Structure 1
Amino acid sequence: MDKHSKACHRSLPKRIILVRHGESQGNLDMAAYTTTPDYRIPLTRLGVEQARTAGEKIKVVVSEGERWKVYFYVSPYERTRATLREIGRAFSRGRIIGAREECRIREQDFGNFQVEERMKAIKQTRERFGRFFFRFPEGESAADVFDRVASFMESLWRDIEMRRLEQDESMDLNMVIVSHGLTSRVFLMKWFKWTVEQFEMLSNLDNCELRVMQLGPGGEYSLAIHHSREELQRWGLSPEMIADQQWRASATHGSWYDNCPWHLDSFFGRFHDSESSSSSEEEEESSHNHSGD
């Protein structure tokens, strides 16, 4: 790794932690959406407890060394902001660099769901036709969420590159994104270049469940540093996706395509072993066609 790469590596967050909000009243009873706007749905008592426990878990993860700090991004919904408040109880003020409300990591817009039976019917339809491209009436598809999450990630990188997060190279920076289940899965999809088919295999995060992306020695982020293979399997990652995460855990930054041929194979099938074998097959096919004239 050259000097420039080492400097860039030092300025990167050591971890990017995705956390879903605690149990909300809507998770407990879908009828809540018929009387309360989605963005105002509160946490349940259990959700508050889950958020406090999540704060303690995050603190254990990030406090490996003596010099570390945390920066938070949070969805503007009541249930995510309340989750952040409870998570924050685990940290002293000196450990928190800052927090920012970020509208682009909000929940998928499900449209105007005031009729419970209609909501259930439309969600059943989504299950039959696939989660990624199905767009809710007056609402969003997961593909729409992908577009705004991609925009958020561009801003996130600018924040890092322009040192807006007050990065001290002697400090481990930990970025925590308090958001929603589908939004978090879309974030991972975009980050790791997963396909739509791979996205459809993923299971949703449980309330206040964490996904820890940790920076490896080669400058790549991986889920396999903090999480076990069994966890990745339970989340719906295929053997190829898990192998990719394991490679990223010790990979050299920038060599992804050279070391992940399965990604190309999923698009093109079997390649010729060499240019010469390809030319020979083409000549043989041409000769065969001419012999039939």
Structure 2
Amino acid sequence: EENNHKNNHKSCKTRLLPKRIILVRHGESEGNLDTSAYSTTPDYKISLTEEGRAQARLAGSHLRDLVSSQGPCSDWRVYFYVSPYERTRSTLREIGKSFSKKRVIGVREECRIREQDFGNFQVEERMKIIKETRERFGRFFYRFPEGESAADVFDRVSSFLESLWRDIDLNRLHSDSSQDLNLIIISHGLASRVFLMKWFKWTVEQFERLNNLGNCEIRVMELGHGGEYSLAINHSDEELLEWGLSPEMIKDQKWRIDGNKADWNDHCTWYLRSFFDYESDSEDDVERS
């Protein structure tokens, strides 16, 4: 995704790429603890439990250790994006306790990374039937009555990514090359998975095999030596498998540690094979109508 923008905005002398882009799911919410809460409380007003706040504080400590302990640069900064839902904003407030004021260069509420809309108030008995239908129809394309499909979320997250890259291209997030910038995006399970799907060009089938993030679980995308972001720098093969990545997807993540876009197709032929069955490399053997 990021390479679509590499030749844009020629007037920018130096584009400062974030060292890390970190996705964080919110802490345990009242809805996670008791799904009946969704039938009486609007989804965006669902709050964190005490356990959820504790999870967020622990995540903040872990994030601070992560961004401060790796790499030669000791001068680092963080920039937060947060979903407008109460549980994500509360998660941000708890995470923020681990960072001094000088380390935080920006916070932005971003509506496009909000939770999937499941259709206003959610009656438990009805939602059970609806989710069974979703499994038969397909998790990505099924649209909840009066709500959204994962495909709808994909569209708005894609729009967010375009805006994010414009800001990066123009150095709107930070302009000091001596500092490592860490973008921390506090959102929801599905929005985070869709973000990764868009970024790494995963197919619908690959998306549907992904497992959801746990409460306050993180995904760290770190900038590799060739200018690509990779999950494999901070996460083990075992973790990636547990998340639902296939061996081919893990191979791609490992390639991204040192690879660059110029030879992506040569090293990641699995992506082409997912659409085409190349039985011959010869032009003479190509079927002609």
Tell me how far apart the structure 1 counterparts of residues 58 and 131 of structure 2 sit (CA, whole Å): 31
Distance 1:11 1:234 in 2: 33
> Superposition pairs for residues 98-109 of structure 1, below 5 Å?
98-109=106-117
Partners of 1:111 and 1:103 lie apart in 2 by 17
Work out whether 1:189 is the aligned partner of 2:197. Answer: yes
Instruction: State whether residues 113 and 119 of structure 1, in contact with CA within 8 Å, keep that contact through their aligned partners in structure 2.
Output: no
From 173, 176, 190, give the equivalent of 2:184: 176
Identify which of 78, 82, 90 aligns with 1:74.
82
When residues 143 and 18 of structure 1 are mapped into structure 2, their CA distance, relative to the original with a 3 A threshold, is: same
- Do the aligned partners of residues 154 and 23 (structure 1) sit closer, same or farther apart at CA in structure 2, a change above 3 Å counting? same
Deviation readout 1:202-258 (Å, 9 max, x if unpaired): 000000000000000100000001100000000000011010001011102332222
Root mean square deviation of aligned Cα = 1.8
Are the counterparts in 2 of residues 167 and 173 from structure 1 also a CA contact under 8 Å? no
CA contact (8 A) 1:10 1:169 kept: no
Gaps of 5+ in 2: 1-5
The alignment status of 1:21 with 2:26, answered yes or no, reads yes
Gaps of 5+ in 1: 287-293
- 8 Å CA contact 2:43, 2:120 repeated in 1: no
Is the Cα–Cα contact under 8 Å of residues 15 and 169 in structure 2 kept in the other structure? no
Match of 1:142 among 147, 150, 153: 150
Amino acid at match of 1:28: L
Matching residue of 2:38: 33
Deviations 1:11-42 (A, max 9, x none): 00000000000000000001101111000000
Measure, in 1, the Cα distance between the counterparts of 2:264 and 2:39.
47
How many residue pairs match? The answer is: 277
Tell me the residue number matched to 1:60. Answer: 65
TM-score, normalization: structure 1?
0.90
Per-residue CA shift, 1:33-86, capped at 9, x if unaligned?
Answer: 111100000000000000001101111111124110000000000000000000
SS of the residue 2:270 aligns to: helix
Task: State the secondary structure of the residue aligned to 2:235.
Answer: coil
Note closer, same or farther for the CA distance 1:108–1:85 as it changes in structure 2 (3 Å cut): same
8 Å contact from structure 2 (residues 15, 170) kept in 1: no
Q: Residue in 1 aligned with 2:275?
A: 267
Q: Give the alignment of 1:1-293 within 5 angstroms.
A: 11-63=16-68, 64=70, 65-276=73-284, 278=285
Residue identity matched to 1:49? A
1:171-202 per-position Cα deviation (integer Å, ceiling 9, x unaligned): 00000000000000000000000000000000
SS at match of 1:11: coil
2:3 is matched with which residue? Answer: none
Q: What code does the residue aligned with 1:264 have? A: L
Residue 162 of structure 1 and its aligned partner are, at CA, apart by: 1.2
Q: Distance in 2 between matches of 1:71 and 1:234?
A: 28
Q: Which has the larger radius of gyration?
A: 1
How much does 1:9 deviate? 7.9
Query: Counterparts of 2:13 and 2:265 in 1: how far apart (Å)?
Result: 21
Conserved 8 A contact 2:15-2:168: no
> Are the equivalent residues in 1 in contact too, given 2:119–2:147 (CA < 8 A)?
yes
Instruction: Write 1 or 2 for the structure with the bigger share of helix.
Output: 1
Whether contact under 8 Å (2:223, 2:230) holds in the other structure is yes
